[in-house]
Structure 1
Amino acid sequence: MADLQAAKEKLRGSIAPIITPFKEDGSIDYSKFEQLIDWHIHSGTHAISVTGTTGEPSSLTVEERVEVMKTASKTIDNRVPFVPGTGSTNHEETMYLTKKAEEIGADAALVIVPYYNKPSQHALYKHFKRVAESVDLPIIIYNIPGRTATNLHVETLAKLSKDCPNIIGVKESNKDFEHVNRVLLNCGRDFLLYSGIELLCYPMLAIGGAGHISATANVVPSKVAEIYDAWKEGDVKRAQDLHYDLMPLNDVLFKDTNPAPLKAALGMMGRIEPVLRLPMDVPTKEIQDEIRNVLRDYVDLPDEVTAK
């Protein structure tokens, strides 16, 4: 069994959920992908995640997801922890991808609540238990009811954490702050609780959270990482100031479905081609104008972008 206590100690802070960059023809731009990972590590990001919601996994084939994981692992090269998203609406596919993550050498797997099919709590328990038991790898469950149409109940999560020792944490993209409080009450204070809601990144640290997996880290990785660093250092005012400073950016980056605004912003910054695969697409011109206007306050944009 993996050293779960060591995993719990190192899997803290800002785990950046990296986008999957595409070329104009829709193929994966692995060169840009590697550059993004290097930029994040140099910017202070504490760990890297790929092929989660922000990485457009439903737009990738299974083979592409495996290749993205392999590329990320090789690029990271053990400089920071690696936590790929391996979940799917298909149970066997989830099992396959989670085992691949283990083979590649991931530090943990982020496994989403299955989307679209709306399983019962009993079925969710069976699903996650079987996935956890199939690998010698720490598992972080990903609860995002706004995208899956199913909320993993605290009672179900608590039973899983008790029955499956390698289920060590949960990413809660859950706006119900009472729910996330009860996660630590019922699963134990050493259970890793991550915020997947941008406006709850700082508040979750205050109740004992382990960090955050924030889409906004794609655009300003150093600032999102600094929230955790400031909190860890006991500088509450700095953490609060960063929390409020990032709110306008957080708001505009969710004017359209994630990761469309992120890709538009990164395109404006010259880091990627702002391409998504259908049925996803870039935001409207009006939303892109809003993103550009807000983005100017956070990053230096190329002259041709600033002039627009």
Structure 2
Amino acid sequence: MVRDYQEIKSRLRGSMTPVITPFKSNFDIDYDAFSKLIEFQLENGTHAISVTGTSGEPSSLTEGERLQVIESAHKTINGRVPFVPGTGSTNHEETMRMTKRAEEIGADAALIIVPYYNKPNQKALYKHFKTVADSVDLPIIVYNIPGRTAQNLHVDTLAQLSKDCPNIVGVKESNKDFEHVNRVLLKCGRDFLLFSGIELLCYPMLAIGGAGSVSATANVLPGKVAQMHDAWFEGDVETAQNLHYELMELNDVLFKDTNPAPVKSALGMMGKIEPYLRLPMDLPSEELQREIRDTLTKYRVQLQYV
């Protein structure tokens, strides 16, 4: 039976937290901490959960580990909020397998990144996304992050995909070109789901008709990020603007090094995880960690490790 994409689109709104993948000191995945992170999100009003996207260090995981993380998250969430795992990679067949598995376990949608490193042209990108979309009956949110992939998915390419593939329902734009993101809704339609992946553009994208954000900062202050979206959708523009500016200092410090290193450092200080990353990623410098700690203190975040 073909899914009701409109019904699903109506639920995929607000703050979709890209939950990090915690590791133990031996660099095994810490599934107990992972489940607790998801519960922390749900307790604080997060509207949807994503895993194994950029913040989840997918390139540091094996395909089997990614599938285990996705299945673990799905079990923990248990239908309480929409679940949108990241299933994309540089490898087309792996992306197909991951996306098919997301469909099989009952994910609400899949987040599929523009393939990184190999820099496919626009024709190849179209073929890649269309082939994956045609292989599943699952809503797909394209993930455009040119700063990481070294390739920008053009608006016209995305518009053609949205026209030709009814299950391509939205895009996460980690794109600092605000003219580009405006044209996404112009060309793809105002009901196309536009999510911000740039922290300082989360509020501005709501103002032009965006559906929400996928903000790494929500790992640390999920309640504040969710409240900003709630205020906007309730028509309380002043509160939404105030929260946008209130979050700015934390947004800035959490991106002074490559995501998710600063976020993991912050969560470690909060006692939520052991702050480990797999090489070639590593924690921020001691100087930046002190700045993160000081910033968390300003936000009155309870710290266990300083």
TM-score bucket (shorter structure): over 0.9
Aligned-pair distance for 1:51?
Answer: 0.0
The equivalent residue for 2:238 is 237
Give per-residue Cα distances to partners, 1:31-90, cap 9 Å, x unaligned.
000000011011000000000000000000000000000000000000000000000000
Contact 2:194 2:211 in 1 (8 A): yes
Deviates more, 1:290-299 or 1:201-210: 290-299
Contact 2:197 2:215 in 1 (8 A): yes
Instruction: Give the 3 Å change call, closer, same or farther, for CA 91–237 of structure 1 in structure 2.
Output: same
Aligned-pair distance for 1:227?
Answer: 1.0
> C-alpha root-mean-square deviation of aligned residues, in Å?
0.7
Give per-residue Cα distances to partners, 1:214-244, cap 9 Å, x unaligned.
0000000000111110000100000000000
Give per-residue Cα distances to partners, 1:153-196, cap 9 Å, x unaligned.
00000000000000000000000000000000000000000000
**Does residue 1:16 correspond to 2:21, yes or no?**
no
Contact 2:268 2:305 in 1 (8 A): no
The equivalent residue for 1:2 is 3
The equivalent residue for 2:188 is 187
Any residues of structure 2 matched to 1:80-91 within 5 Å, and which? 80-91=81-92
**Does residue 1:105 correspond to 2:101, yes or no?**
no
Aligned-pair distance for 1:298?
Answer: 1.8
The equivalent residue for 1:161 is 162
Q: Which amino acid aligns with 1:22?
A: F
Secondary structure at 2:55 match in 1: helix
Give per-residue Cα distances to partners, 1:86-143, cap 9 Å, x unaligned.
0000000000000010011100000000000000000000000000000000000000
Q: Which TM-score applies when normalising by structure 2?
A: 0.99
- Matched pairs, number: 305
Q: Which amino acid aligns with 1:178?
A: E
User: Identity of aligned pairs, percent?
Assistant: 73
The equivalent residue for 2:199 is 198
Tell me, in whole angstroms, the C-alpha distance in 2 between the residues paired with 1:300 and 1:19: 19
Q: Which amino acid aligns with 1:35?
A: K
Tell me, in whole angstroms, the C-alpha distance in 2 between the residues paired with 1:78 and 1:25: 32
Contact 2:196 2:205 in 1 (8 A): yes
Give per-residue Cα distances to partners, 1:274-304, cap 9 Å, x unaligned.
0000000000101101111111122433365
Q: Which consecutive unaligned segments of at least 5 residues does structure 1 have?
A: none
The equivalent residue for 2:125 is 124
Q: Which amino acid aligns with 2:260?
A: P
Instruction: Give the 3 Å change call, closer, same or farther, for CA 304–257 of structure 1 in structure 2.
Output: closer
Tell me, in whole angstroms, the C-alpha distance in 1 between the residues paired with 2:301 and 2:189: 43
Instruction: Give the 3 Å change call, closer, same or farther, for CA 275–40 of structure 1 in structure 2.
Output: same
Tell me, in whole angstroms, the C-alpha distance in 1 between the residues paired with 2:233 and 2:301: 28
Instruction: Give the 3 Å change call, closer, same or farther, for CA 299–106 of structure 1 in structure 2.
Output: farther
Any residues of structure 2 matched to 1:30-179 within 5 Å, and which? 30-179=31-180
Q: Which amino acid aligns with 1:102?
A: E
Tell me, in whole angstroms, the C-alpha distance in 2 between the residues paired with 1:254 and 1:5: 34
Q: Which amino acid aligns with 2:240?
A: A
Secondary structure at 1:199 match in 2: helix
